[in-house]
Amino acid sequence: MGDKYVRAIFPGSFDPITNGHLDVVKRAVRLFDELIIAVGRSPIKNQLFTPAERVEMIAELIDGMPTVSVESFEGLTVEYAARRKATVILRGLRSLTDVQYEFQLAMTNRAVAGIETVFIMTSEQYGFTSSTLIREIASLGGDLSNLIPAGVQRRLEGRFSQLRHQGK
């Protein structure tokens, strides 16, 4: 990478974070001087965990990774990247479907903000995993032990148990 310090952001909703996300983080650590996991607030997605809860979950998982941090943000990813002086946006790719959407987003971000996007293909065993699918399986009481960290699974089970008791 030369003498230039490279700070990357890995934006997403991470509701919840999955082993696929962690796989991308662990592989990205070798590529960048600093990586900020940026927990966004999506106005579109119906969110299960608050941004603060998601930051807390991720903070536990990255403990021991000195070049990785986590924080939440609101607004446009490119504006957040500029505020944090990040030169790269990191994105994970799972499938060909992701490529089309992510390619369009990367081209737009470069045109609008001059920021580069770096893609990391997720490992094969996580290629089908999404936070939406994880939430669906968890709501039905399915076993997610191969797809999410144990602490995240405990929180998911707790949240769905709480929601069932509230009658939602």
Structure confidence by residue, pLDDT tens digits, 77-133: 999 999 999 999 999 998 888 898 999 999 999 999 999 999 999 888 888 888 989
- Known catalytic residue at 165: no
Options 42, 45, 95, 164, the catalytic residue:
45
- Known catalytic residue at 91: no
Mean pLDDT of the chain: 92
Residue 161: how many CB atoms within 10 A of its CB? 11
Write down the pLDDT at residue 119: 96
Options 13, 54, 91, 94, the catalytic residue:
94
Tokens of 106: 């990367």
Centroid of chain to Cα 135: 15
Bridge partners, residue 10, by sequence: 37
Structure confidence by residue, pLDDT tens digits, 118-166: 999 988 888 888 898 999 999 998 889 999 999 999 999 999 999 888 8
The three-state secondary structure class of 15 is coil
Tokens of 52: 């603060």
Confidence of residue 25 (pLDDT cuts 50, 70, 90): very high
Instruction: Of 17, 36, 6, give the one whose Cα is nearest residue 131.
Output: 17
- H or E stretch covering 35: strand 34-40
Q: Which residues contact 27 (CB under 8 A, 6 or more apart)?
A: 120
The radius of gyration of the chain from alpha carbons, rounded to an integer in Å, stands at 16
User: What pTM, to 2 d.p., does this model score?
Assistant: 0.91
Domain ranges of the chain: 7-127
**DSSP category for residue 7:** E
Residue 97: how many CB atoms within 10 A of its CB? 9
CATH 3.90.170.10 for domain 7-127: no
- Known catalytic residue at 131: yes
Query: Among positive and negative, which fits the CA dihedral 115, 122, 130, 104?
Result: positive
Structure confidence by residue, pLDDT tens digits, 38-71: 999 877 667 899 999 999 999 999 999 999 999 9
Options 13, 54, 91, 131, the catalytic residue:
131
Options 21, 54, 91, 135, the catalytic residue:
21
- Known catalytic residue at 139: no
Confidence of residue 168 (pLDDT cuts 50, 70, 90): low
Write down the pLDDT at residue 54: 96
DSSP per-residue letters across 66-91? TTEEEEEE-S-HHHHHHHTT--EEEE
